[in-house]
Amino acid sequence: NAGVTQTPKFQVLKTGQSMTLQCAQDMNHEYMSWYRQDPGMGLRLIHYSVGAGITDQGEVPNGYNVSRSTTEDFPLRLLSAAPSQTSVYFCASSYRNTAGGEQYFGPGTRLTVT
Amino acid sequence: GQSLEQPSEVTAVEGAIVQINCTYQTSGFYGLSWYQQHDGGAPTFLSYNALDGLEETGRFSSFLSRSDSYGYLLLQELQMKDSASYFCAVRVVYGNNRLAFGKGNQVVVIP
C-alpha cells in the first residue's frame, strides 16, 4: 500500500493564480480531509468528505474548493491564490467511524504564494 | 467553536519523563487523540482515548478525564528521537472522524 499520497511536494504560485493539490489513498477509507498548518497554529480543517459525492466545510474553507468523485481521490482547488494561503497542506484519510480515532496523513504540500 | 489548549514547549533530558497536557472546550466530544510530528514531517497517530482512564502503548501513555475536559500524554524513558511536536485532537462529530486539533507542544530532548 502506498497509503496517502500528495502531489506536488512544493509549489510556488503568484497571487491570483489557481491550482489543484492532489491527494489519493489506496486504503478504501471513506473519510478524507484537508488541513493547513501554519507556524504556531496547529492543524486547521479546510474541507472534509465522508464518502464519494459528499463534502463539507471545515474551519477555514474560504478560497478553497473540493470534490470527491471517487473513494480514492480528494483534490483541493485554490481558486485565486493569495499570500495568506502560504502554508503547508496535509491530506488525511481514515475509516469513517473508526473505533481508534486514527487518521493517516500524506507527506504534505508546501505552498508559497508571492 | 473549538478550543484546545496546550502549553508551547518543553525541554527534557534523555531518560526523563514528560507530561503534555490538553484541555478542551469543543462543540462535541467523542474521543481524544494524540499525534506526533517531527520537523518537516507529517503527523503520525500515537494514541486514542474514548473513555476515562489511562491507555498505555509502550513508552507512551495517554489519559482522559471527560468530566474535567482534560487529557495528557506521558512520554517515558525519553529518547532523542522523541524530539517532536505533539498535538492533541478531539473527535467532535458522532459517526465520522472529524478532528479539531490543538496548537501543539514542542518537546526538545537533550543529551
Q: Name residue, grid cell 488541513.
A: A35
A96 touches chain B (CB under 8 A): yes
Convert the pLDDT of each residue in A55-86 to its tens digit: 999 999 999 999 999 999 999 999 999 999 99
What is the rounded CA–CA span in Å between residue B42 and residue B64?
25
- Asked if A30 contacts A95 with a C-beta cutoff of 8 angstroms, the reply is yes
CB contact under 8 A, A108 and B44: no
At residue A109 the predicted structure's pLDDT band, cuts being 50, 70 and 90, is very high
- Quick one: pLDDT at residue B1? 60
- Best mutation site among A105, A109, A110 for testing chain B: the one with the most B CBs within 10 Å? A105
B19-76: per-residue pLDDT in tens?
A: 999 999 988 899 999 999 999 999 999 999 999 999 998 999 999 999 999 999 999 9
A103 touches chain B (CB under 8 A): yes
Question: Taking CB atoms and an 8 Å limit, are A105 and B43 in contact across chains?
Answer: yes
Contact indicator for A83, A63 with CB cutoff of 8 Å: no
Q: How confident is the model at residue A100 (pLDDT cuts 50, 70, 90)?
A: confident
CA distance B82 to B18: 11
A54 near B CB under 8 A: no
CA distance to A1, A81, B43, B88, per residue, from B91 (Å): 26, 30, 16, 10
